[in-house]
Amino acid sequence: MSPEERRDISNGIWLCGSHSIEIDRDEVRYTPGLLREMKEEHERLISEELNSGQGLLRDSDLIAVGPDIVVFGELLGTSGRKWSVRIDHFVQGSIWTLIDFMESFSKRDPFDCFLVVNSLGDGRQLAGEPTWRRAGRSLECTFFVQDRFPREDARALGATLATSPTNDLMLENGGLAMVSGIASLPQRIKQTLSYVQGESKLNPRAGSRFKEYLDDFGDSPWLERWMKLDAIRLACIPYHDFACKTTYTLIPSVRYIESIEILDGERQGDWQSVRLKLEIEGVGPWECVVPVFMPKGAFPGRPCV
């Protein structure tokens, strides 16, 4: 191996002082292959723990306050339209970002005024500026939220264009194939998650931030948690379409999101298959696997979805 290869993070394994000495002294037992297996198994277990909310992190998770603040903390409780949150650590933004959010609240786009809680799989649009106070080494914040935005029964969803597993439009009886009702929901989810936020000049706030998170977190075990955070936003926070003069959630009929899983080995070009477990209006617990357009690096020309 070259010096660069030896120094690369992929060649690293982090151990305590005692076990690092034991491994260095017993090269017969602790072969490179065994060490790689140990590392991969440990990373798999930690990844599952992070994304399931079990183990040491069972009470805390990512929470988003608007588009620019993400914290690690816990939902302490709710009372009517008042939600209480403990903030242990700022992952994105800072206390100054939070204060600025509060002070400029009345001037902000309502679509950017939200609280999204990963552990709950749910979120709300804010009704007023939040408040905070110091609580030991943490912050305790109070958020005043809107009522849950009404969801359309998935069985009553109207028709939309159908696409194949390769994301091409399909023909049926000499015309474009259509799907409706619950059968149309995977298609609608795919369309929304594959639409990169900022891509449309008419609706720059619509779409997901999956590509942004893929670029930032890559194969990190945190990637699925960031994706879940954004999917909750798209499913729970009402979006006002000025062109159509109507308000709706960008992913329809989803009451809350239980989990999002990136399927290993299920990437074809810029399309990555993900599994979603959801609670659907009019249906109940439901899951699907959809391909999502998540290009890495420079943004290429976008295919039809």
Task: Tell me if 121 sits within 8 A of 64, measured CB to CB.
Answer: no
Residue 252 scores a pLDDT above 90: yes
The token pair that represents 170 in the structure block = 């399909």
Measured CA distances, 227 to 28, 69, 178, 222, 276 (Å): 42, 15, 28, 9, 11
pLDDT in tens, 148-166: 999 999 999 998 888 776 6
Over residues 283-300, the mean pLDDT reads 86
Tell me the pLDDT band of 303, cut-offs 50, 70 and 90.
very low
The token pair that represents 284 in the structure block = 């109940």
CA dist., res. 83 & res. 228, Å (int): 20
pLDDT in tens, 186-210: 999 998 999 888 877 777 788 899 9
Over residues 232-252, the mean pLDDT reads 91
**Choice among 68-72, 192-196, 293-297 with the minimum mean pLDDT:** 293-297
Residue 49 scores a pLDDT above 80: no
CA 207, 208, 211: angle at the middle one, nearest 5?
A: 125
CA dist., res. 121 & res. 214, Å (int): 20
Position with higher pLDDT, 123 vs 43 = 123
Residue 2 scores a pLDDT above 80: yes
Nearest to 221 by CA among 27, 1, 37, 57: 57
The token pair that represents 263 in the structure block = 């399927």
- Is 3.90.100.10 the CATH classification of the domain at 154-293? no
Residue 277 scores a pLDDT above 70: yes
pLDDT given for residue 152 in this prediction = 94
Give the SS3 label for residue 159. coil
pLDDT given for residue 1 in this prediction = 85
Place of tokens 């060490």: 35
Residue 58 scores a pLDDT above 70: no
Residue 64 scores a pLDDT above 80: yes
Residue 57 scores a pLDDT above 60: no
Tell me the pLDDT band of 295, cut-offs 50, 70 and 90.
confident
Report the mean per-residue pLDDT for the chain. 88
Residue 48 scores a pLDDT above 80: no
pLDDT given for residue 280 in this prediction = 97
pLDDT given for residue 108 in this prediction = 94
Q: Quick one: DSSP state of residue 5?
A: H
Q: Where are the domains of the chain?
A: 3-56, 59-144, 154-293
Dihedral sign, CA of 152, 153, 158, 162?
positive
pLDDT given for residue 107 in this prediction = 95
Specify the DSSP element, H or E, that contains 293.
strand 284-293
Tell me the pLDDT band of 304, cut-offs 50, 70 and 90.
very low
Strand runs labelled E in 21-155: 61-65, 69-79, 82-92, 114-117, 122-125, 131-135, 138-144
Backbone angles phi, psi at 235, to 5 degrees: -90, -25
* Amino acid, res. 181: G
**Choice among 77-86, 103-112, 153-162, 198-207 with the minimum mean pLDDT:** 198-207
Task: Tell me if 92 sits within 8 A of 85, measured CB to CB.
Answer: no
Residue 14 scores a pLDDT above 90: no
